[in-house]
Amino acid sequence: MWGGRFAGGPDEIMEAINASIGFDRRLAAQDIAGSRAHAAMLAAQGILTDKDAEAIREGLLTVLSEIQAGTFQFSTALEDIHMNVEARLIELIGDAGRRLHTGRSRNDQVATDFRLWVREQCDAAIEGIAALQKALIGQAETGADWVMPGFTHLQTAQPVTWGHHMLAYVEMFARDVSRFSDARARMNECPLGAAALAGTSFPIDRHATAKALGFDRPSANSLDAVSDRDFALDFLSAASICAMHLSRLAEELVIWSSAQFRFVAMSDRFSTGSSIMPQKKNPDAAELLRAKIGRIFGAQAALLMVMKGLPLAYSKDMQEDKEQVFDAADTLMLGLAAMTGMVSDMAANPEALRGAAGQGFSTATDLADWLVREAGLPFRDAHHVTGTLVAKAEAKGCDLPDLSLAEMQEVHGAITESVFDVLGVDNSVASRTSYGGTAPDNVRAQIATWKDRLG
């Protein structure tokens, strides 16, 4: 394939390390789309005849149909998807196929193909996240006023609602959508026509090929166009943060489904049993998702290592840009689908949630707020009084609402009977009406807003 420059073929080991067709065949559809746009532009510019352009168009469609049907014979000797497609095109249409590569290089070709593929993965991720958000909103709507403990340091902090907790993840994943959207917008420049690194002397129309492939514009610098892989790193960065959010939710599902918590029951579809303990129902889908996230983090680190020492423009090192991105994209989409299924199917236990919400002196902050609001204490004094009452209740082996008024007044005489109105968990969550707070009315309003946004 190298023509007159080399007298002999590559060593078998060189061929093995050099070939990428084993993985970059995934870019076949993008490669053919780019070639069709390139051929149409060459014809429009008078660089190719209309006859040759039509033969190329038909030939490329035949190649695509063979690949889709599984009848295409991929060759390691031809190294990559670009040369495999071109060689088969030449077999089909002869010399017209040899003219397709006019005004371009494999450097700008692969940069275009890969950018098209990653752009599609951004769209797929956004769609997958939206499905998960809808599942979370469904859970939030079901339990908008179910009371549960909110945690800090995994210790009971204050009561919140189940709906509020579910919506917290909706907000997290919304930021992931914005990151994928930003990455997509940034990568939507077309490298095709940058050629090897310096552009081309042929009178090509890069704006035409960019438009044909759905890009906003052609890339402005030919050196940067062929050497840039920031678009893949942008995708991996967004994927890593999204994956981290998936792992946090998976961790909560593992904890919540344990016998010690019993907050949720995972469906049989996303659980497994034990080979020796017949009572076990393990949240294996959540655990596996939690582990698979490391592959996405690793992909980002691997591509950063590939790119960090490369001078401009293209180096063969950059062939190692794809496998980890492919794997990360597959892992992310599997994780999103698995989490959507788990969230859709899981059954929350309102009784267990409520029982846990009242433990651990979860309404202590409500008592402190009451002392500020009703007794006129500075907050720091109210905090001290409340801490003393917590210690008193703890010594007695009861919760704050179980202390008598007389016992409370021993600590501070300004406490009245109305303090008991704020000590129940329902009263606590209902009072949190500040914007973004956990009050059920707030939750329902946010659910309505999100349902309108997601459609």
Instruction: Break the chain into its structural domains and give their ranges.
Output: 12-102, 107-202+216-356, 361-454
pTM: 0.91
Count, residues in the chain: 455
Question: Over the stretch 317-367, which tens digit does the pLDDT of each residue have?
Answer: 999 999 999 999 999 999 999 999 999 999 999 999 999 998 878 888 888
- Please provide the CATH number assigned to the domain covering 107-202+216-356: 1.20.200.10
| pLDDT at res. 451 | 97
Mean pLDDT within 41-60: 98
Give mean pLDDT, residues 218-240: 98
State residue 281's pLDDT score. 85
Cβ-based neighbours of 165, under 8 Å, separated by 6 or more: 148, 150
* Residue 279: pLDDT band with limits 50, 70, 90: confident
Pairing type for strands 147-152 and 217-218 reads: unpaired
Active site residues: 153, 274
Question: What is the predicted pLDDT for the residue at 1?
Answer: 52
Chain Cα centroid distance, residue 224: 27
pLDDT tens for residues 70-126?
A: 999 999 999 999 999 999 999 999 999 999 999 999 999 999 999 999 999 999 999
pLDDT of residue 7: 53
- One-character DSSP codes across 213-274: TT-SEE-S-HHHHHH--HHHHHHHHHHHHHHHHHHHHHHHHHHHTSTTT-SEE--GGG-B--
pLDDT of residue 5: 54
pLDDT the model gives residue 31: 98
**Which position has the token pair 């196929």?**
97
Domain at 12-102, CATH class: mainly alpha
Given this model, what pLDDT does residue 421 score? 85
What is the pLDDT at residue 14? 74
Q: Is the pLDDT of residue 274 over 80?
A: no
Q: What is the pLDDT of residue 299?
A: 97
Average pLDDT (260-268) is 93
Per-residue pLDDT averaged across 248-277, rounded?
A: 90
Task: Report the percentage of the chain scoring pLDDT > 70.
Answer: 98
pLDDT bracket for residue 17 (50, 70, 90)? confident
Q: Is the pLDDT of residue 3 over 70?
A: no
pLDDT in tens, 140-194: 999 999 999 999 998 888 899 999 999 999 999 999 999 999 999 999 999 999 9
CA atoms within 13 A on the CB side of 351: 1
- The residues, any chain, with a CB within 8 Å of residue 455's CB and separated by 6 or more, are none
CATH (residue range 361-454):
1.10.40.30
